[in-house]
Amino acid sequence: MSESATTDRTPGERADVCVVGAGPAGALVAHSLARRGHDVVVLEAGERFDPASEERRMERHLRPGYGPLSVWDMGGPRDAYTAPGERHYPLNAARVKGVGGTTLHWQGMVFRFHESDFASWPLDYADLRPYYGKAEREMGVAGADDNPFAPPREEPFPLPAFPPSHSDSVFADACERLGVAMHSVPNARNSEPNDGRGQCVGYGTCKPVCPSGAKYSADVHVRKAEAEGARVVDRAPVQRLVHDDAGDRVTAAVYATPDGRTHRQTAREFVLAAGGVEIPRLLLLSRSERYPDGLANRSGAVGRYFMDHLFAGMGGTVDRRTRQHHVGFMTSECHQFYEDPTRATSGTEGGIPAWSGDGPEPGSLKLEFLNYAGPTPVGLALDADEWGDSLLASMREAYGNSVGMGALAGQRPRKENRVELDPSTTDDHGNPVPAIHWRVDDRTLATLRRANEIQRAILDELGADVTWRVGPGNTGPAFHHMGTTRMGTDPTSSVVNPQLRTHDLQNLSVASSSVFVTSGALNPTLTIAALALKAADHVDERL
């Protein structure tokens, strides 16, 4: 930890805005409002990590003596949860509590949702289009306008795209023969020096840590917000929100500090930006006589309609070198099957066959070409029982010819998928922990089967020896928490309005993927950022 023991965590005077959470949404809201002259306080449950510790955190990731939660100091009573649903949800496997939030360990892919993704939302792509452009500039997105299936743009990407990897080139000929379109992946990482940070140098450990700082992390905007006068208080988990006698406005955020004390930060406006699990938990913990079912929960939708993206994958080996793990992120993928995953393609080798499954038709999916399939050299060496020249010969034989594909499939919003409180288990402050009830419906399983069908056709065309598969029976989440404070125009069925303000309280906004109405099948962070910038504009209008 970089902080001193004398860090002042006592509340300031009544602020203009109190932001809960210092991840990408909270950091962008804080910076946007602070640079317009507003007095902003950010309360973050986790610590402020020292950037100088990131090489050590990379070592924790690579060395077998450390568990995955140790990379960013997750676990223990603070991060306790339960998962009593049909399918266990491994919440702590991919979240970080700290200044920067999950962008400290994300892979860094950023997409605009397709226009069709907004069909059930109370706003459309045109409403978010200017905010998407601003979010790309703020985050420094590297990309190319080569995706024929992407929504329209108003300007080029801020930075040039990363070139296709060698692994991508292995796939390219097979995809061309099958009529499958490959295109670049927009990445929130520097392809050239930008915003005071250097370009990517290829550590290859992007998820869970980028020691060079080339990948965007929200602590970038935390520092910018502080330069504009914002105050950021770390290790200050908010315990509950307090409202006025009329129940119309939030008056204070009650937070704890490491010395065992609690404090009240008052503000004119409050913005919740703590993610799709902790935001509904906080609202449920803030129940009162006026709101016995939880704050902002007149609709009963707080915590409901929890969604994630599910992963499908397949891979194996080919009889040529693929340079696996030379790139720690994706440089090519395919949105060709996004709108219509049942479609067939025509190509010189027959193409991809149309969907032939029974039951529900699959939903949206995106295909990914993995640059990091197969074992790493470090992993092979650590698992080996030999040394010296013998080990080197074995590694040369086993490493460097792996290929793999991934895919994301979106879930539909279902009321029974939810986050609620579990009073049988408490955190380090005695509060009920989040309980995640989660199941995967038949339509999503059909989408995963379709993704596997397409992947198998491409790998067969490559002549790959398929050795692994992730599909309907062994899928897992992408850890994109969505839907738990959904947006809508009807206060009886939604939590926030299209301006991201809660229906029930006049000065409480939510900036998070928790407001998503549907999930699509694309990584959500750019949409989170766009909505955060939109929320900041509306807060500014009210101040």
Q: What is the DSSP string of 125-140?
A: HHHHHHHHHHHHHHHT
Phi, psi dihedral angles at 465 (to 5 degrees): -90, 100
- pLDDT for 1 equals 40
For residues 363 and 327, the answer to whether their CB atoms sit within 8 Å is: no
Can you say how many angstroms the Cα of residue 462 is from the centroid of all Cα atoms in its chain? 31
Mean of the pLDDT values across residues 418-429? Answer: 97
- pLDDT for 94 equals 84
Tokens matching residue 400: 């460097």
Residues recorded for the chain = 543
- DSSP class of residue 428 equals T
d(CA 35, CA 33): 6
For residues 29 and 222, the answer to whether their CB atoms sit within 8 Å is: no
pLDDT band of residue 357 (cuts 50, 70, 90) is: confident
Tokens matching residue 521: 């099948």
Lowest average pLDDT, out of 138-142, 263-267, 375-379, 486-490, goes to 375-379
Strand partners of residue 301? none
pLDDT band of residue 351 (cuts 50, 70, 90) is: very high
pLDDT band of residue 2 (cuts 50, 70, 90) is: very low
Taking 70 as the threshold, does the pLDDT of residue 534 lie above it?
A: yes
Span 448-488, pLDDT tens digits = 999 999 999 999 999 999 999 999 999 999 999 999 999 99
Taking 60 as the threshold, does the pLDDT of residue 352 lie above it?
A: yes
For residues 184 and 148, the answer to whether their CB atoms sit within 8 Å is: no
For residues 55 and 210, the answer to whether their CB atoms sit within 8 Å is: no
Span 302-347, pLDDT tens digits = 999 999 999 999 999 999 999 998 899 999 999 999 999 999 999 8
- pLDDT for 365 equals 97
Greater model confidence, 240 or 69: 240
- DSSP class of residue 454 equals H
- pLDDT for 457 equals 97
Crossing angle (nearest 10°) for helices 525-542 and 125-139: 100
Span 130-144, pLDDT tens digits = 999 999 999 999 999
Span 161-172, pLDDT tens digits = 999 999 999 999
- pLDDT for 294 equals 98
Lowest average pLDDT, out of 349-353, 366-370, 410-414, 425-429, goes to 349-353
Span 75-112, pLDDT tens digits = 999 999 999 989 999 999 889 999 999 999 999 999 99
- pLDDT for 6 equals 59
- pLDDT for 4 equals 42
Q: What is the CATH number of domain 15-542?
A: 3.50.50.60
Stretch (H or E) spanning 443: helix 442-462
Q: What separation in angstroms does the CA of 280 have from each of 144, 274, 284, 433, 530?
A: 37, 9, 6, 11, 21
Q: Does residue 460 sit in helix, strand or coil?
A: helix
Mean pLDDT of the chain: 95
Burial letters for 393-430: b for 16+ Cβ neighbours within 10 Å, e otherwise?
eebeeebbbbbbbbbbbbbebbeebbbbbbeeeebeee
For residues 227 and 489, the answer to whether their CB atoms sit within 8 Å is: no
Lowest average pLDDT, out of 45-59, 145-159, 373-387, goes to 373-387
Taking 60 as the threshold, does the pLDDT of residue 74 lie above it?
A: yes
- Other CB atoms within a 10 A radius of the CB of residue 319 amount to 9
pLDDT band of residue 438 (cuts 50, 70, 90) is: very high
Q: Does residue 525 sit in helix, strand or coil?
A: helix
Span 181-234, pLDDT tens digits = 999 999 999 999 999 999 999 888 888 999 999 999 999 999 999 999 999 999
For residues 208 and 61, the answer to whether their CB atoms sit within 8 Å is: yes
- pLDDT for 175 equals 97
Taking 50 as the threshold, does the pLDDT of residue 3 lie above it?
A: no
Q: Please give the full DSSP string across 321-388, using - where no structure is assigned.
A: ---TTSSSS--EEE-TTSS-TT-----TT--PPPP--SSSPP--EEEEE-SS-S--HHHHHHH-S--H
Stretch (H or E) spanning 149: none
Tokens matching residue 101: 């939030």
**Whether the model pTM is above 0.75:** yes
SS (H, E, C) 221-261: HHHHHHHCCCEEECCCCEEEEEECCCCCCEEEEEEECCCCC
**Angle 207-211-214 (CA atoms, 0-180°, nearest 5)?**
85
pLDDT band of residue 62 (cuts 50, 70, 90) is: confident
Share of the chain above pLDDT 70, in %: 99
d(CA 19, CA 269): 9
**Angle 16-20-21 (CA atoms, 0-180°, nearest 5)?**
130
89 burial via Cβ count (<10 Å: 0-12, 13-18, 19+): buried
